[in-house]
Amino acid sequence: MDITVNILLTIATAATPLLIAAIGELVVERSGVLNLGVEGMMIMGAVGGFGAGYLTGSPWIGLLAAIAMGALFSLLFAVMTLSLATNQVATGLSLTLLGLGLSGMMGTSFVGQPGERLPNLDIPGLTSLPVIGRLLFGQDPIFYISIALTAAVMWFLFKTRTGLTLRSIGDSHASAHALGIKVIRYRYLSVIFGGACAGLAGGHLSLVYTPQWVENMTAGRGWIALALVVFASWRPWRVLAGAYIFGAVWIGQLHAQAFGIPVPSQMLSSLPYLATIVVLVLISRNKRLTMMNTPASLGQPFVPDR
């Protein structure tokens, strides 16, 4: 039973950064913007969070720094694509390359240094309950933030007027602009929100998952988060389910190696990425499912009439 609980705990820990990054990107894409720079924003959040936590001795300051770093990096993307109308795909890819290189340079002095870890929740009388105690009442704070964030985004998009406006911009920015909606303003806020979520996801990696700094420690999680949005057909609750499925695959390959399963370790390590490819191929074969919730203006630049 202890082994099962430990595996479930590690799955939740592995799924949390995927969920947060994907939820942020879902809001961005619902507004009609395609930001492929999630990996770059995550790695900048990771180095910013670790650095701030290490220098101040407070993981909470590190967490705020991670969020700020992701938001600032996304602001660069917003200025380029929304104000200057550059190509969103090319700009997002450039943002990822910039983040990977810049984070490696910034984190040089942090390599091998002990990090500050966010403490897990400990509620007397509840955390010690058999099985469910540690699963429900003994997780790290970002785990609970990720669940609350998913519920909040679901409520915002489908139960509020502002959420309806955001989705209408993603479906037809020209029509929204004709109705007097500030398209660029909404998209700026959405992109910054997505960047803050990616930074938070990166902070989780360096402050909870492995409280240390390792170059390229995101290891492709930003790309998996992007695939999760498509996998979930732009629905928050499906992102939640998908994140835990991919988290289980990620942890499964680690435990398979620990149990000595006679499969090459390189093959096992590639399982999360192979699963991503397989899911995308299966979804792309169903055009109706693909187009059902896809924002019609996704990736299209918008230049308001002057």
The whole-number pLDDT of residue 232 equals 86
Q: Which CATH architecture has domain 2-292?
A: Orthogonal Bundle (1.10)
**Between the CA of residue 28 and those of 201, 216, 294, 295, what are the distances in Å?**
16, 24, 12, 11
Q: Which residues contact 118 (CB under 8 A, 6 or more apart)?
A: 59, 60, 63, 140, 141, 142, 207, 208
Render pLDDT for 34-83 as a digit per residue (tens, 0 to 9): 999 999 999 999 999 999 999 999 999 999 999 999 999 999 999 999 99
Q: What is the pTM of this model?
A: 0.91
Render pLDDT for 132-174 as a digit per residue (tens, 0 to 9): 888 888 899 999 999 999 999 999 999 999 999 999 999 999 9
